[in-house]
Chain A
Amino acid sequence: MADLRVNLCGVTLKNPVIPASGTFGFGREYHEIYDISILGAVATKGLTLRPRAGNPTPRIAERRGVILNAVGLQNPGVEHFIAHDLAWLKEKTKVIANVAGETLAEYGEICARLNGLVDFLELNISCPNVKCGGMAFGVKPGSIEEVTAVAKKNCPQTPLIVKLSPNVESIAESARAAERGGADAISLVNTFTGLAIDIERRRPVLANNTGGVSGAGIKPIAVRMVYEAARAVKIPVVGMGGITCAEDAVEFLMAGATAVQVGTENFTDTRACPRIIEGLNTWCDAHSVEALSSLTGTLKLN
């Protein structure tokens, strides 16, 4: 029985496995399938100050080894989350509130509202599916630093994780910008902007035309980006992008991640997270690894 605990910004997670924002709601539905208190933490559906209706449908498409989504941040708003889901979820495990805004002021306001109420804030500056806000803040190092600084000023009591977009020139520059802005950690990668075409109709499959690509097919790119980002900063990194099994998670840890998020695989296998947690324990035992956290950043290049 290996020690799977990890320390993320001074908060101990019982294991490094976190369902990724947008794939897990606020945990209630998955809790009907398994006890979600076994999870290291839960990253909530992206929250905004006011409720958002999201994009028209279809919002999802599938291609070999990947999916594309363009939900467009549909959510019931932060107040609804605080009133209906937060207490329930906090009883189960650590809570990472994923938040987004359309303006700098909105980012500040939503962080202030959740400051001290959740275990972590995850700043969504990389949603590719909304017209304003979202990724507009996440592609230029200058704006990453600026929005991070505004957010951090408004959540002094809560560790701030900045979720980075992979749709950038240099992920190391993005990581450094978040660190300069005062981020306590970074998470990556969000989805890659993609396009799936219905060749019979000669039209995009998604109503939004483009969508965020995720799933097993993006994993090697995500691992490389986590490696580059982790080397560029001193703050911890939460790695994600195509994790389907414990061995995938180990790759991210070796590349420099302290914890990992699992997204698309929750759709393929509803019990993906518990399976990966069990698999990490088995892998550690088989490799005589006593503490999983000792794997972080142990990659040596050829």
Chain B
Amino acid sequence: MREVIATVLENARIAEETYSLTFACGEEIPVRAGQFCMVGVRGFPLRRPIAICKAEGERVTVCYRLKGAGTRTLAENCKIGETLSVLLPLGNGFTLQESEKKIAVVGGGAGVFPLVAAIREYAAEKQIFAYMGFKNRASVCMQYEMQRGEEFVLCTDDGSLGFRGTAVQAFMESVERVRPDAVLACGPTPMLRALKSATAGKPFPVYVSLEERMGCGIGACLVCACEKSDGSRARVCKDGPVFKLNEVIL
């Protein structure tokens, strides 16, 4: 984990209300799929936690959706050549066992972005079956990154492109055929709840990357707590963001 003053290389709109931000860290940052960074936005007290999509040497790419004043400012004011204070890499990231060969990847909304990193990391050594959900055709992005595996099902809530329905629905239609060894998932809480009930009792583990409002991002402030099934609390930023789905209460 380190704090870098990064230089913006690109900050471009890639879909409706969605931006891709690439910055140079000035040093090589080793990043595991599922890790995230805290991006400082000038004029705002809190950094924004954003999943890392891609890390190549000193270049890191994150994608973010416009959610409020902070991300809007990031989109409008963060021009090429400007500097950003970034804390990274943060969190545990995804861990797959050697024996887990067939991997289903289920993502929705902004949750597709850490899964893009997972597909990039594992596509060469594992069989990837990806189910990615978007609101509609206009919000679809990064399909070329999602197509690296064995299977890719693009879903839209309104059916304007691909499968009509959610990524969880698309996954559950394929699950008996695919028989994954493990599932990686990220998305809005209602989606994760649906996935939890749909996969209850299934033989494979489901690893989810959780989203939570954060303070420090490094595990000190206990703002981003999540409740675990055993009654304990975990820090999403430090102990997560990736947890076993059956070990967390959503």
Contacts and interface: CB of A to CB of B under 8 A. Distances in A.
Interface of A: 22-25, 28-30, 32-33, 45, 53-54, 57-62, 65-67, 69, 71, 74-75, 215-216, 264-271
B54 interface: no
A24 B222 CA distance: 10
A71 B222 contact: yes
Interface in B203-246: 212-227, 233, 238
B32 interface: no
B1 to A, nearest CB: 5
Contact of B226 (A28, A29, A57, A215): A57
Nearest to B224: A57
Nearest to A244: B45
Nearest to A58: B213
5 contacts: A28-B220, A29-B219, A59-B223, A74-B225, A267-B46
A58 B213 CA distance: 6
Given A23-B221, A33-B2, A58-B212, 19 more contacts: A23-B215, A25-B219, A28-B220, A30-B218, A53-B227, A53-B233, A54-B222, A54-B225, A58-B213, A59-B213, A62-B45, A62-B46, A67-B215, A69-B215, A216-B45, A264-B45, A267-B47, A267-B215, A267-B221
Contacts of B218: 29-30, 32-33, 270
Top 8 nearest A-B pairs by Cβ distance?
Answer: A25-B220, A29-B220, A29-B218, A60-B223, A58-B213, A29-B219, A74-B222, A59-B223
A264 B218 CA distance: 14
A129 B238 CA distance: 23
Contact of B220 (A30, A67, A265): A30
Contact of A60 (B70, B87, B215): B215
A57 B85 CA distance: 26
A22 B221 contact: yes
Contact of B3 (A29, A59, A270): A270
B144 interface: no
Contact of B213 (A25, A54, A61, A216): A61
A45 B222 contact: yes
Where chain B touches its partner, the secondary structure class is loop
A29 B45 contact: no
B40 interface: yes
Contacts, number: 99
Given A23-B215, A69-B215, A215-B45, A32 B222 contact: no
Contacts of A23: 215-216, 220-221
> Interface size for chain B: under 10, 10 to 19, 20 to 34, or 35 or more residues?
20 to 34
Given A29-B216, A267-B216, A57 B3 contact: no
Contacts of B85: 269
B87 A29 contact: no
Contacts of B215: 23, 60, 67, 69, 267
A29 B223 contact: no
Contacts of A33: 1-3, 87, 218
Contact of A267 (B2, B45, B222, B238): B45
Contacts of A266: 216, 220
B223 A65 contact: no
Contacts of B219: 25, 29
Contacts of A29: 216, 218-220, 238
Nearest to B46: A62
Nearest to B1: A32
Nearest to B214: A60
B157 to A, nearest CB: 19
Contacts of B3: 33, 270-271
A53 B85 CA distance: 32
Contacts of B212: 57-58
A257 B237 CA distance: 34
B225 A57 contact: yes
Nearest to A61: B213
Given A62-B70, A69-B215, A268 B45 contact: yes
Contacts of A264: 45
B42 to A, nearest CB: 10
Interface in B178-221: 212-221
Contacts of A66: 45
Nearest to A265: B45
Contacts of B222: 22, 25, 45, 54, 59, 71, 74-75
Contacts of B224: 57, 59
Nearest to B48: A62
B213 A60 contact: yes
Given A29-B219, A33-B2, A74-B225, A268 B213 contact: no
Nearest to A24: B220
Nearest to B231: A53
